[in-house]
Structure 1
């Protein structure tokens, strides 16, 4: 009976996310709405998880773009690191969310898509500078959000994920700042 209930809840969450996204609602908002309606986890847990998933998807896509569009080899290498590390973190977050019955977005938020659209029109040195500017700003925010989640999120699995991810994000920030400074 427990398996049937989990399958039903999971199917309902997926259906709710898909129908909400068909109504032009941001996929992150849709996932948060599903989590709010099921009360499976606290709001601070589901909000962090959905935002982290969206941000992780953006980092992977931008990293792939950097590998193709960047002029500097350091920027290309940084992009490769983003794809590798954030793909791994995304997979880990998905596994935790599945175990905890937390709905995650199936695509990134509209504001993350805007970052991708903004960078997609740039090439060469313009792309390198804009990408590294964004990576410095984004990773400063990410380090703060993940540190906060590591201390304040109520779900222990998500809290542990955040704590484990902080050093990786700090390494990304340090690398982004070094590349950014070298470009000046």
Structure 2
């Protein structure tokens, strides 16, 4: 039998070889693109699973904690500017620093859980901030001490106590447990403010 390969022109053989190479390269490129797309999709799917696996109660706790934290920081920044009592001003400065740190820790935790936190206080908290902003002098000191120093910290402590006992996610539970002593310390500090004494008597010592 005659050798047909030897009869095939060299240019034709080279052209065929080039076509095969191009097809191989195209197939490899498609495989790489598919792999990258699968990786990106896999990452998004894992983030979605992290969010869906977190209980509604745990998610609600994180969002409420974020709103409370924003309210504390915004009101305390206002108090640093407007408070007439040096003790109230010093307390407010401490709140800005401590709640700023808590907010960073909460944001980092929420990121790992796929939870999108509110970027500010709730509507009701914003209304209270408006009332606080309208006050001046001793009236401002008293209103800030009562609403943010006492009432807000009592509410936040109750929120964190519930999460420390009932949160299903171990990291969420650990965050709540770790943060509680600082919140309780803030309430103790607020109760010692002269402007808070009258308000605190109405609620009773807790």
Query: What TM-score, normalized by structure 2, do the two folds share?
Result: 0.71
Task: Pick the structure with greater CA Rg.
Answer: 2
Kindly indicate whether residue 189 of structure 2 is the aligned counterpart of residue 175 of structure 1: yes
Aligned partner (choices 15, 33, 42) of residue 55 of structure 2:
42
The aligned residue for residue 79 of structure 2 is 66
CA distance in 1, matches of 2:88, 2:41: 48
CA distance in 1, matches of 2:98, 2:157: 14
Root-mean-square deviation (CA, aligned residues, Å) is 2.3
CA distance in 1, matches of 2:104, 2:180: 16
CA distance in 1, matches of 2:145, 2:79: 10
Kindly indicate whether residue 170 of structure 2 is the aligned counterpart of residue 165 of structure 1: no
Query: What TM-score, normalized by structure 1, do the two folds share?
Result: 0.79
Contact 1:67 1:80 in 2 (8 A): yes
Give the CA deviation at 1:140: 1.2
Give the CA deviation at 1:66: 0.5
The aligned residue for residue 20 of structure 1 is none
Structure 2 gaps of 5+ residues are 1-37, 202-206
CA distance in 1, matches of 2:166, 2:74: 29
Q: How many pairs does the alignment contain?
A: 159
CA distance in 1, matches of 2:105, 2:197: 32
Q: After alignment, is 44-53 or 150-159 more displaced?
A: 150-159
Kindly indicate whether residue 104 of structure 2 is the aligned counterpart of residue 88 of structure 1: no
Q: 1:121 to 1:90 in 2, by over 3 A?
A: same
Q: 1:163 to 1:124 in 2, by over 3 A?
A: same
Aligned partner (choices 123, 129, 152) of residue 166 of structure 2:
152
Q: 1:2 to 1:86 in 2, by over 3 A?
A: farther
CA distance in 1, matches of 2:84, 2:46: 47
Aligned partner (choices 65, 81, 92) of residue 79 of structure 1:
92
Kindly indicate whether residue 65 of structure 2 is the aligned counterpart of residue 52 of structure 1: yes
CA distance in 2, matches of 1:7, 1:113: 34
CA distance in 2, matches of 1:138, 1:9: 36
Give the CA deviation at 1:124: 0.9
Contact 2:71 2:120 in 1 (8 A): no
Kindly indicate whether residue 140 of structure 2 is the aligned counterpart of residue 127 of structure 1: yes
Give the CA deviation at 1:106: 2.0
